[in-house]
Amino acid sequence: MRSPKTFPFSLILALIIFFPMITFQHPEPIIPVLGFHGIIDSKNNMLRSPQGEMDYPKQDIEKLLEYFITHNYWFLTTQDLYDFFLNKSRKIPTKHRNQKPIMISFDDGYKTIHTSFFPILSKLQKKYGKKVKVVLFINPGTLATSKSIASTHLGCRELREGLRKGFYDIQSHGLNHEDLTKLSRYQLVNELLQSRSQLRKCTHDLDPDDKVAAHFAYPYGAYNKQVKNYTSKYYLSSYLYNDEIVNYGCLKNNYEIPRLMVNRQKSTKQLIEIVEKVDWKKNKEKC
């Protein structure tokens, strides 16, 4: 009677070591970061920000978010992107492993984000039981105050409400939306530090871990070596506005994160097509 064949010990050991890596390793994702500005009610042309074409119809963005919710997208915060994909200091939770990551961001802090967009976030949460988180890159120097008259920007009160309810991820866009490449070193540092300080002052009791103003978006998408160098001293990452998507497994610099430029010229259908063209299952490409 033949004895059963045995596998060499070295082969068994190799299978034990490498099988989990082959089976459970997740491909590096390609993550779209959409960059919006103001929101316009297409049924009320009086409610728009000074951005004009940069405003996006609220009826369209509601359809866009509803599509992302029903097609299993994971709405990232800036800290999520940093922890799970850039720094990789945390493992992706099981509930998110089969989801497609995406980030929705808004620049400049226009009032229409809260008056027209915030109700949509609440409506979608009630309808689907899912909270959509959006990133607001804010210039605290332009925030509305109690003395502001007909301000086009939201104020600290609105930021706090959105943060408290878990919809807003509040990050820095510089103090006064200056082109940082044109400033002196002193002015540059002031723009970076005062923005962080004022945003955290607004939200201090709601943000025990200092996640507010931990990340940055360059005003106008403008940066140079000096700007990037000083930004890296005070923030964990920073974002461009260059109409690009990259593979985050290939990203070598946390201070050059690309974003897609979104305006009224890009319909909901076009944005969905851009995002869906991303090959979510593709392994890390050569960088």
Instruction: Please indicate whether residue 171 or residue 5 has the higher confidence score (pLDDT).
Output: 171
Q: Phi and psi for 282 in degrees, rounded to 5?
A: -70, 140
- Overall number of domains in the chain: 1
Report the percent of the chain where pLDDT is more than 90. 75
State the pLDDT confidence band at 24, using cuts at 50, 70 and 90.
very low
CB atoms within 10 A of CB 34: 24
* Long-range contacts at 187-195 (CB < 8 A, ≥ 24 apart): 188/226, 188/227, 188/230, 189/230, 192/216, 192/230, 192/231, 192/234, 192/235, 193/234, 194/140, 194/141, 195/138, 195/139, 195/140, 195/141
What is the tens place of the pLDDT at every residue in 270-282?
999 999 887 655 5
**Is residue 261 classed as helix, strand or coil in its secondary structure?**
strand
State the pLDDT confidence band at 284, using cuts at 50, 70 and 90.
very low
Residue at 54 is within a domain = yes
Residue at 22 is within a domain = no
Residue 1 tokens read as 């009677």
Domain hosting 173: range is 29-276
Residue at 43 is within a domain = yes
pLDDT of residue 6: 58
Residues 6+ apart with CB under 8 A from 52: none
Distance CA 256, CA 243 (A): 12
Residue at 16 is within a domain = no
pLDDT of residue 21: 47
pLDDT of residue 104: 98
What is the tens place of the pLDDT at every residue in 110-159?
999 999 999 999 999 999 999 999 999 999 999 998 777 668 999 999 99
User: What is the CATH classification number for the domain harbouring 183?
Assistant: 3.20.20.370
Residue at 9 is within a domain = no
Residue at 80 is within a domain = yes
Report the percent of the chain where pLDDT is more than 70. 83
Residues 218/180, Cβ–Cβ less than 8 Å: yes
